Amino acid sequence: MEKSVSDFESVQKWKEHLAPRVSHMAVENYLWALGVFCNWAKKNPDELILEMVKSASSEDFKTSSSSRIMAYQLQDRSTTKRSKALIVKALASFYENNRVTIGD
């Protein structure tokens, strides 16, 4: 059985960080958004963090998460602009909470 994004320690810590700051529904929306992006990227949350850390220390931006996020926004036609914006906001929060920033 495939793991849910909520099963990852990085996500649990992020959720604990979010819970006192935003509504329960916002937390659930962020978890949904992270799950959508993970499914699209075919990576789990820990792999997304590792990819971002590696891209931050290399010149190869073709595989960086920031490039992947832009590609997602352009390619995914199944979600609305508002949903895509939520996904980007959730990813930025997830990366920030895991001490990784989204580059240009």
- Give the pLDDT confidence of 42-96 residue by residue, as tens digits: 999 999 988 887 776 665 544 455 676 777 777 777 678 888 888 889 988 998 8
Which of the pair, 56 or 103, is modelled with greater confidence?
A: 56
* Single pTM value for the model: 0.79
Instruction: Identify which of 95, 103, 76, 104 has the alpha carbon closest to the alpha carbon of residue 34.
Output: 95
Calculate mean pLDDT across residues 19-48. 94
Please answer whether residues 40 and 100 qualify as being in contact, where contact means their C-beta atoms are separated by less than 8 angstroms.
no
pLDDT score, position 1: 43
pLDDT score, position 59: 56
Three-state SS at 5: helix
